[in-house]
Structure 1
């Protein structure tokens, strides 16, 4: 028994072929990724450093709810280029959301955030009772 196989040759190989090749070349750039995060601790506070170059401080949303710190962004871009009869529109949407469970020792009312040179910095001060205390000499009566 013979099998009939249709050989599909695109009608417009140069137009669609280039379009698909361009898409395959550009697609990896739009894969979702999360920014790198450093978490540091000292005697008085925790510090979070989140590398997010290319954003503005207005792009970030930082929330604390029931000992969960959430950092998120949403950025939408649209470009349109018209040459003659042809219009090319490109859309770019990027977002991320990171959540951190905070220890009960963090004073959530005193958290401070800064954004300098592409790094979002958060300082999470510890509550006074959680900070190390100096040794105290107890006199014997």
Structure 2
């Protein structure tokens, strides 16, 4: 029996949450892991005064990151190229590693685009986006009449 996988551009129209049983078997290999562009996991939280975005990006330095704001889209990208060269008796061994990613976030209207801070500590890039004063939650007591 031969397994033939058809890809006609449609996922599963009947049930979009159905995953192909054989997809994990065909894609779980060391070779496919190198070909997949891996993006860091992200945690996004909202507090009373700001939005907090955390990206898990271990092995990088703060110089590897590029953070841009274009209108209301915040883009975080990183690029790291590592080159190890060992020279010995009439041979040269070279190993290259190249990692890059881009993540973009659409900021809400309540975000203060002039107050964005970034910090990279222990493999986590933390972005704090302040809220506009009028968007902060005002707590008050409502009197019953």
What is the TM-score with the length of structure 2 in the denominator?
A: 0.71
Instruction: Measure the CA separation in 2 of the matches of 1:130 and 1:27.
Output: 45
Displacement over 2 Å in runs of 4+? 24-32, 134-138
Which protein is bigger by CA-based radius of gyration? 1
Pair 59,132 (structure 1): closer, same or farther in 2 beyond 3 Å: same
Aligned length: 115
Unaligned runs of 5+ in 2: 1-28
Match of 2:37 in 1: 32
Q: Using a 3 Å threshold, how does the CA distance of structure 1 residues 64 and 25 change in structure 2: closer, same or farther?
A: closer
Cα deviation digits, residues 18-41 of structure 1 (max 9, x gap): xxxxxx967735642111100001
Partner Cα distance (1:135, 1:60) in 2: 41
**Which residue of 85, 98, 103 maps to 2:90?**
85
1:117 paired to 2:122: yes
Consecutive unaligned residues in structure 1, runs of 5 or more: 1-23
**1:75 partnered with 2:70:** no
TM-score by length of 1: 0.73
Q: Measure, in 1, the Cα distance between the counterparts of 2:131 and 2:68.
A: 17
Distance 1:25 1:61 in 2: 29
- Residues 51-70 of structure 1 aligned to structure 2 (within 5 Å): 51-70=56-75
More helix by proportion, 1 or 2?
A: 1
RMSD: 2.2
